[in-house]
């Protein structure tokens, strides 16, 4: 750990800036910043956050650095991007970054709950819904930073998705058609064969947008000039040298519902616990409006539906159970890795159903359930509790 006196001297000038007035720097130094995406925006943002004295950065990205990335981001070809970013940040202030080479949807909700602010730098439409729901549920503010990757304009934006009940979130302006239309950019890292178009934008635009995202995060956390963040979207138009601030409106019929969560922690870890243990723990949760028998309870792993079949290119199909992050079974015919059949997914399972699938006593980790996962406890068709592993 760095000498605290050296750190104080390094940040002495920052403490006199408007952003960090009124003890703002001390608040920032205790902040855990969660960044989704370690590319052109996320990598820059992580480095600047560490340089500015933030307490800790957690960053998620499963992608590796490709040759076409090297024109607008730092890294080594073939190395996972989060590892590149962690090494760069450690050169500034060692030990301040925790890097996770995984899809953020596979991060445990308990892990995300420990962040003070989330910033989505992934430009992945598939994450709009889950990250907004997580932000609202955990009451953790969310910023979304993005650039126009078409190469047609030098434009970007930073949008504040407020977690407060009366604030607008990024889904407030979405219709169901919008949500469906914008969920087709990229797939999960397991078995992804379709190429992803590279972002056609330069480092100059990336630096500006990442800088604004950092400033907005600092304002959110310190409370200084927060009125320029809540219910605001900042548009960056470098083609015409304009910076625009747009007011966002809170929708009374927002698709997200702006629901708050109150998950109940349970003392179970996926490595050493099974569905059987989880059903037993669920039975111990008191609910005066509900007296359940085992057959009444169903469990649903948030963002982790269970596949119940896998197939092989040779034509073989087998019954196998696991989430998309579980290891694919080996084909009994040609001994190659099979692929999960997403069309066979189930969102919830009862104790009887788990027995039929022969997974009641399997470790949850074997099914692809991460540490800190959130489990929905349902009975008679209604949500009873949210459990947190």
What is the average pLDDT across 286-290? Answer: 58
With CA atoms as reference, report the closest residue to 386 among 246, 269, 287, 242.
Answer: 287
121-125, 135-139, 232-236: least confident range: 121-125
With CA atoms as reference, report the closest residue to 28 among 40, 20, 38, 39.
Answer: 20
pLDDT band at 254 (very low <50, low <70, confident <90, very high): confident
- Whether 185 has a pLDDT exceeding 60, the answer reads no
What residues form DSSP beta bridges with 32? 56
181-185, 223-227, 267-271, 352-356: least confident range: 181-185
Q: What is the 3-state secondary structure (H, E, C) of 288-351?
A: CCCCCCHHHEEEEECCCCEEEEEECCCCCEEEEEECCCCCCCECCCCCCECEECHHHCECCEEH
- Whether 190 has a pLDDT exceeding 90, the answer reads no
Residue-wise pLDDT tens digits, 125-144: 889 999 999 999 999 999 99
What is the average pLDDT across 53-82? Answer: 91
- Would you state the pLDDT for residue 294? 55
| Degrees, nearest 5: CA angle 113-111-133 | 50
Residue-wise pLDDT tens digits, 145-159: 999 878 788 999 999
With CA atoms as reference, report the closest residue to 386 among 327, 301, 322, 328.
Answer: 301
What is the average pLDDT across 19-24? Answer: 92
75-84, 116-125, 189-198, 267-276: least confident range: 189-198
Higher pLDDT, 293 or 225: 225
- Would you state the pLDDT for residue 184? 46
Positions of E strands within 111-182: 117-120, 142-147, 155-161
Count of C-beta atoms within a 10 Å radius of residue 20: 22
- Whether 340 has a pLDDT exceeding 90, the answer reads yes
- Whether 2 has a pLDDT exceeding 80, the answer reads no
- Whether 225 has a pLDDT exceeding 70, the answer reads yes
Cα distance between residue 389 and residue 386, in whole Å: 10
- Would you state the pLDDT for residue 170? 86
Structure tokens at 26: 């001390």
- Whether 279 has a pLDDT exceeding 60, the answer reads yes
- Would you state the pLDDT for residue 152? 86
- Would you state the pLDDT for residue 173? 82
Domains of the chain: 4-247 (3.40.50.720), 264-388 (no CATH)
With CA atoms as reference, report the closest residue to 46 among 63, 64, 60.
Answer: 60
- DSSP character at residue 39: S
Residue-wise pLDDT tens digits, 359-373: 999 999 999 999 999
- Would you state the pLDDT for residue 290? 54
What is the average pLDDT across 101-123? Answer: 95
Provide the mean pLDDT of the chain: 88
- Would you state the pLDDT for residue 192? 45
How would you classify the pairing of strands 232-237 and 317-322? unpaired
Percent of the chain exceeding pLDDT 70 equals: 89
- Would you state the pLDDT for residue 291? 54
């Amino acid at each position: 750990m760095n000498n605290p006196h050296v750190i104080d001297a390094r940040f002495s000038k920052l403490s006199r800036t408007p952003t960090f007035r009124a003890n703002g720097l001390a608040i920032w130094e205790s902040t855990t910043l969660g960044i989704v995406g370690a590319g052109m925006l996320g990598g820059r943002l992580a480095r600047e956050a560490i340089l500015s004295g933030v307490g800790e950065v957690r960053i998620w990205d499963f992608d590796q650095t490709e040759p076409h990335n090297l024109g607008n981001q730092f890294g080594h070809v073939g190395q996972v991007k989060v590892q590149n970013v962690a090494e760069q940040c450690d050169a500034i202030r060692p030990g301040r970054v925790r890097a996770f080479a995984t899809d953020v949807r596979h991060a445990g909700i308990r892990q995300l709950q420990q962040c003070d602010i989330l910033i989505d730098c992934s430009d992945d439409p598939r994450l709009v819904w889950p990250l907004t729901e997580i932000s609202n549920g955990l009451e953790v503010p969310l910023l979304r930073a993005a650039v126009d990757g078409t190469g047609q304009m030098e434009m970007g934006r930073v949008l504040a998705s407020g977690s407060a009940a009366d604030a607008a979130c990024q889904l407030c302006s979405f219709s169901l058609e919008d949500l469906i239309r914008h969920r087709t950019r990229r797939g999960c890292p397991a078995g992804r064969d379709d190429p992803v178009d590279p972002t056609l934008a330069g480092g100059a635009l990336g630096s500006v947008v990442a800088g604004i995202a950092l400033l907005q995060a600092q304002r959110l956390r310190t409370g200084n000039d927060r009125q320029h963040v809540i219910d605001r979207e900042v548009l960056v138009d470098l083609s015409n040298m304009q910076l625009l601030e747009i007011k966002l409106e809170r929708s009374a019929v927002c698709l997200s519902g702006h629901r708050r969560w109150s998950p109940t922690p349970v003392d179970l870890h996926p490595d050493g616990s099974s569905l059987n243990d989880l059903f037993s723990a669920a039975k111990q949760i008191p609910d005066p409006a509900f007296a359940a028998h085992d057959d009444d309870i169903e469990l649903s792993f948030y963002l982790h539906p269970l596949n119940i079949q896998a197939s092989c290119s040779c034509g073989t199909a087998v019954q196998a159970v696991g989430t998309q992050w579980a290891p694919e079974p080996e084909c009994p015919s040609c001994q190659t890795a099979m692929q999960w059949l997403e069309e066979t997914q189930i969102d919830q399972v009862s104790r009887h159903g788990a027995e039929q699938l022969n997974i009641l006593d399997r470790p949850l980790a074997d099914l692809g359930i991460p540490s800190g996962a959130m489990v929905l406890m349902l009975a008679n068709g209604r949500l009873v509790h949210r459990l947190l592993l």
